[in-house]
Amino acid sequence: MQTNTMRSCFMCNNTIRSNINGAKWTSNIKIRNSTFLSNQKQFFLPVVLRPKSTPYYPYGQYGNKRYQHTESKTSGKMAAWQIHKYGGNEQLSFSNTCRVPPISNPDDILIKIHAASVNPIDVGMRGGYGSNVINTLRGIFSQLQVASEFPLILGRDFSGVVIQSGRGVHRFKPGDQVWGALGVEKPGSHSQYTIASQREISKKPSNISHQQAASLPYVAATTWSAICTFGNFTQQKASQSRVLVNGGSGGIGTFAIQLLKAWGAEVVTTCATDAVAMVTDLGADEVIDYKTVGVESSLKETGRFDFILDTVGNMESYQSSLLTRGGMFVTLVTPVLTNIDKDGLLGGLAKTAFSILPKLTSSLPKQTNYRWAFFIPDGKALGTVKDLVEAEMIIPQIECVYQFRDLPLAYEKVGEKHGRGKTVLDIISYNR
C-alpha cells in the first residue's frame, strides 16, 4: 500500500474543440437503439472521444462561478483515497492534497462527507470491473469533455452535510444533513468532500447517525431499482404477494427483506447458518439455510413465489419453476459489464444480447417474466426510504466500521464476501 502524497486528484480539463488537434483518440463508437436490456428500454451510447493521456475533471478545475449559489467554506484541499491504475489493494493510495471539487453546474451540491460505505462494486471497480462502460458514461455525462479515468476516487454512497449549492438547487441548503448514492461515472465518496446532483440525494433520516445512514443509500437505490424500476413491483402488489430474496444476509438482502416486510409481503430468504438468526430478526417469514439443505428442493417445497429478487446468482436454471403465473424474476447478477470488459463494447453487447434471449423466450410458455437489474441513483427513492427509517420500519445493518486511514482493510473485508450487513468508513474523524 502506498502512503506517499500523490498529485492532485482534480486536474484541469479543456473542451473537445480546444483539444482536437494533436490528441490521440482511442475510440470513436456510435451505437443506437440497442435493446439488450430485458425491460426493452432503449440504451443510447453516443460518440465517445477519449485521448490517451489528457487528465480529466468533470466539473472543471475551478468550477463555474455563475452556477455557484452559495460561497464555499473549504480550504480548497481535502484527503482522499485514489487509484492510478487498476489492480488490487496495492493500488489504493492516500493523498491529503486533493482539490475540493468545485460547483460547475446549476444542479451541483458540494457535500462534506461524514461517513461512507464500501460496497462490492467498489472492490470490483478497483480491479477495472465495468471500466469500458463507465468510461463511456463518463464521456456522456461530462458533456463530451475530455475523459480520462485516473486518478480515480472510488465509493458510491455517503452521509454528510451540504456546504455549497448551485443556483438550480432549491430543495437543499448549506447545513442540511443529507445522504446519497453517486452515479458510477462520477468521482466517488471515499474522500472528505464530493459533488452530487440533487437527483442523487435526499435529506438524511433524523433518527440515525451518519455512520448508520451511510450504510443504506447504495443498497437502497439498487434494491429500489431492481424491485420497482425493473421489476415493476409496488407496495400495493407486495401486500398480496409472496416474495423470495435469494441471498438475505448481505447489504442488499438485509435491506430488501425490511422493505418488503414494511410493504406487507410474505418474505422467504436464503442464507448461511450463521446468518439465520439475523435475517429472522429482520422479519423473514421463512429462512432456507443453504449450508444444511438443498436450496432448490427446499424452495419448491415451500410453494411458488410472485416475485423473486436474486442477489447472488446460481438459480437461473430453475427460477421459472418457482414462479406463479405472471410472476417476476429479477437478478442483480448479470454478465453485461463483464462481457463488455472482455470483448469490447460492440462484442460485449452482442454477446449479452445472445445470452439473455434464451432466458426471455423460455419464460414465455410458462407466462413468467425475467429481468436484469442495475444500480440507478435515485434521490426520490431515498426520500421514501428516509420516511421508513424514521418510522423504524428499516434499521441499518452494520457489520463493522473502519477509520478513514484504514480504508484498505475495509476493502479486504468486503472482498472476502459473505458479509453480514455493511462495512462503513468513519471519514469525519480524520478532520479532528
The 10s digit of each residue's pLDDT in 1-28 is 444 433 333 333 333 333 333 333 333 3
Q: How far is CA 348 from CA 30, 224, 335, 341, in A?
A: 14, 26, 9, 7
Query: What is the band of 32 on the pLDDT scale with cuts at 50, 70, 90?
Result: very low
For range 100-118, the mean pLDDT: 95
Q: pLDDT tens for residues 42-53? A: 333 333 333 333
At residue 144, what is the residue type?
A: L
The residue-averaged pLDDT of 286-308 equals: 94
pLDDT band at 75 (very low <50, low <70, confident <90, very high): low
Residues 207 and 205: their CA atoms lie apart, in Å, by: 6
The pLDDT of residue 148: 66
Say which range, 98-112, 120-134, 190-204, has the weakest mean pLDDT.
120-134
Confidence of residue 338 (pLDDT cuts 50, 70, 90): confident
Taking only the tens place, the pLDDT of each residue in 160-216 is 999 999 999 999 999 999 999 999 988 999 999 999 999 999 999 999 999 999 999
Q: Tens digits of per-residue pLDDT, 60-71? A: 444 445 455 555
Burial of 17 (0-12, 13-18, 19+ CB in 10 A): exposed
Handedness of CA 13, 16, 19, 22 (dihedral sign): positive
Higher pLDDT, 340 or 232: 232
Domains present along the chain, CATH in parentheses = 16-216+399-431 (3.90.180.10), 219-372 (3.40.50.720)
The reported pLDDT for the residue numbered 180 is 98
Residue whose grid cell is 428516509: 386
What confidence tier does 140 reach under pLDDT thresholds 50, 70, 90?
Answer: low
Q: Which of 395, 421, 378, 399 is nearest to 207 (CA)?
A: 395
Q: Are the beta carbons of 163 and 111 closer than 8 angstroms?
A: yes
Whether the pLDDT of residue 432 is over 70: the answer is no
pLDDT of amino acid 161: 98
Q: Which of 105-109, 201-205, 305-309, 317-321 has the lowest mean pLDDT?
A: 317-321
Predicted TM-score (pTM) of this structure: 0.80
CA atoms of 146 and 143, how far apart (whole Å):
9
- Cα separation, 415 vs 396, whole angstroms: 21
Average pLDDT over residues 215-237: 96
Q: Is the bond preceding residue 151 a cis peptide, omega within 30 degrees?
A: yes
In this predicted structure, what is the pLDDT of residue 41?
A: 34
DSSP 3-state assignment of 95?
strand
